Structures are given as structure tokens and as C-alpha cells.
Amino acid sequence: MNKDVIFSVRNLNVKFSLRGRVLHAIRDVSLDLYAGESLAIVGESGSGKTVLTKTFMGLNDANGWVDSGEILYGGRDLAKFTTEKEWLTIRGREIAMILQDPMTSLNPLKTIGAQIGEALKLHQGLRGSEARQRTAEILTDVGIEDAAHRAQQYPHQFSGGMRQRVVIAIAIACQPRIMICDEPTTALDVTIQAQILNLIRNLIAKYNLTTVYITHDLGVVAHVADRIAVMYAGDIVEVGTAEEVFYQPQHPYTWALLSSLPQLGVKGEKLYSIRGTPPNLFHKVRGDAFAPRSDYALNIDYMERPPYFDVSPTHRVRSWLHDPRAPRAVPPPVLSRINPEGGSLYGE
């Protein structure tokens, strides 16, 4: 893996104000992105995956703000941006975002050729026949056949999966360095999901994109990720290479997430599901946020937030279980069913 850090988040805190109360959505997150890598962010609903990445583009709702921390990219600290004008130098141009629902990103009143053309004009200065030719190439790249004809159609003339391809085409036309995909396949049926995932994988390679892929489905992650960051309650509790997180997971929350993978289920046995609910982020979180739901919680987990412990140069975990004074914890036996050769996680 290329080790050039191109994007770096340092001690980021994001808060929202709602009816006079403050919700602490992102709690002191630090994260590096390496050039050309594909990082997956996984975690339950509400863990902060979308807020974290929207913060990278200045796209959070108006009641939210960066309370402290840095977002370093291209020699600038994006956390200091105050105007839309500043963000427009980043959005689309440097960092593109592909959302779950493609319709929210498309203009229903313009042909898709016109929408791709606008991006080409704005970002690459292409016009006329040059732009038309490049539009057809990009549409072909994203797997849309009969591109010249399709370019003249409107979004409603495309199926859900095809619309997502169009959104990806527009993103590609802007030539971003970083592409954030926020659950881009969850609204689609399973076969189409696999196709879009394949497409994204091919484009990452062809366009040398650095990618952040958000999903709550760990099964999907094996298809796309070089590295995995596990989010819980606004925090990254574990991060490592995909191999490390799948085959040597360290945090009880990661164990719980992996244990609930349908792929590990045995016929006739009830599939594991994590008990309880995540903490309410309107309240201050004390200790390890996962402790009340964990089978492995220590006394200290209820009192003090764990620091990061390095498991390897590429793998770190925020869990007191790694403190030298902690008793030895044995991960759930079901995790031994995650088998690199077995292909259970890699099946289409």
C-alpha cells in the first residue's frame, strides 16, 4: 500500500444543537487516508459514519458545527473554512460523494448528458464535441451501453441501479482525488448491488481514486476495502487492514459486529445479534461507550475512556482489554468461522 497520507483528520469533534440540547456526534476522531487506498467505515446506524464524511466536505446540516480538531488536505485545514466559496474548491473537485439515493444527486429536469457535460466543462474545460465524446467514454466506463443515445435521456428514464451509475459518472467527470461512497448500494436489490460494487472497484483502479466506502454491512466490505475503520458512538474504536480487522479483530464491538454476520450463521441456530442500544449522544459518554452492551466489559470501562493501543503498525484499538493489567479475553469462538480460504465473506 502506498504510504503517502493525502488527507488527515486530527481530534475532530462535531456537535449538533437541537431544541436547546447539544448532541456530540463525532467524538475526538483521528484518521489518515493514504493515496490510492480504499478505506471502509463500518458501524451501526447512528454511529456517525455520514456525519464524519459530510464534515470532510462542509455538508453537515446547518445546526451542526466542527467544535474542535483539524481536517488537513492539500496544505489547508478544512475545519477552518467558513464560506461556501472555500468549500466549492473542495466539493466535487477534490472530494466527491456518492449517496445512497441517486435521485437526490441528479437534476430531474436535465438530461444526464447535460449534467455530465456541466461537470466536464467546470472541472476539465471541455466543450462541444470534445465534451460529448468524453461523456460517452465515461458512460461506457460506468457500464452504460449505447452511451450517445442514453446521454440524451432524463434521470427518470433510468432504473435505480443505472441512476447510481450516472451519479458515479458525474463524480468521475469532476476528476476528484477522493471519492466517498455512502451506502451506495443499500437501496438496490442484491444482484444490482454486486454489480455496482464491482463497478466501483474497477473505477478505483482505473482512475487511481482514494476511496472511503461507508456501509453497515461488513459482508460488503471484504469486496472493496484495503483498510477498515470501525465506528461506534461517534468514535473510531478499531482500525486496521481488512485482513487484521476480519481475522484478528480486537475490540469487543468489532467481535459483536462480526459475530452477527449472516455468513457465519449455522442453519437451525439463532444468528447472534448485539443486545441493547447505542448510547444517547445528547448525554456525555463515560468510559468505553460499548461497555453496557459488551460481554467483556471491565470495571474501568465504566469509568475512563480507553486510549488507543497499537496492535501492529497498521492496527490500533481503543479498548482497555489491551492494557497490560487487563485479564486475557478470548474472542467469541464463532469468529473462527471467518475463513480466508473459505470464501464465505467473498462470495458474490
C-alpha cell at 292: 453496557
Which one of residues 3, 20, 21, 45 is an interface residue with ligand ATP (CB under 6 A)? Answer: 45
HSE of 106, CA atoms in CB hemisphere, 13 A:
28
Is residue 97 at the binding interface for ligand ATP, with CB under 6 A as the rule? no
CA–CA separation, 182 vs 166, rounded Å?
16
Is residue 23 at the binding interface for ligand ATP, with CB under 6 A as the rule? yes
Which one of residues 13, 38, 42, 43 is an interface residue with ligand ATP (CB under 6 A)? Answer: 43
Which one of residues 13, 38, 47, 50 is an interface residue with Mg ion (CB under 5 A)? Answer: 50
Give the distance, in angstroms, between the CA of residue 159 and the centroid of all CA atoms in the same chain: 24
Is residue 63 at the binding interface for ligand ATP, with CB under 6 A as the rule? yes
CA–CA separation, 77 vs 37, rounded Å?
21
Amino acid at 1: M
C-alpha cell at 36: 490510492
Is residue 221 at the binding interface for ligand ATP, with CB under 6 A as the rule? no
HSE of 325, CA atoms in CB hemisphere, 13 A:
5
Residue for cell digits 474548491?
89
Q: Which stretch binds Mg ion (CB under 5 A): 28-36, 47-55, 136-144, 255-263?
A: 47-55
C-alpha cell at 308: 488507543
Min separation Cβ 101 and ligand ATP, Å:
12
CB closer to ligand ATP, 51 vs 334: 51
What does 216 interact with, of ligand ATP, Mg ion, none (CB < 5 to 8 A by kind)?
ligand ATP
CA–CA separation, 38 vs 33, rounded Å?
9
What does 25 interact with, of Mg ion, ligand ATP, none (CB < 5 to 8 A by kind)?
ligand ATP
Min separation Cβ 139 and ligand ATP, Å:
29
- What residues from 229 to 258 belong to the interface with Mg ion (CB under 5 A)? none
CA–CA separation, 242 vs 225, rounded Å?
6
What does 15 interact with, of Mg ion, ligand ATP, none (CB < 5 to 8 A by kind)?
none
What does 281 interact with, of Mg ion, ligand ATP, none (CB < 5 to 8 A by kind)?
ligand ATP
Min separation Cβ 35 and Mg ion, Å:
25
SS3 per residue for 96-151: EEECCCHHHHCCCCCCHHHHHHHHHHHHHCCCHHHHHHHHHHHHHHCCCCCHHHHC
Min separation Cβ 43 and ligand ATP, Å:
6
Min separation Cβ 188 and ligand ATP, Å:
16
CB closer to Mg ion, 100 vs 111: 100
Confirm if 98 and 180 have CB atoms less than 8 A apart: yes
Between strands 210-215 and 38-42, the pairing is: parallel
Q: Which stretch binds ligand ATP (CB under 6 A): 17-25, 168-176, 237-245, 297-305?
A: 17-25
CA–CA separation, 338 vs 3, rounded Å?
28
Is residue 210 at the binding interface for ligand ATP, with CB under 6 A as the rule? no
Residues making contact with Mg ion (CB under 5 A): 50
Residues making contact with ligand ATP (CB under 6 A): 16, 18, 23, 25, 43, 45-51, 61, 63-64, 216, 281
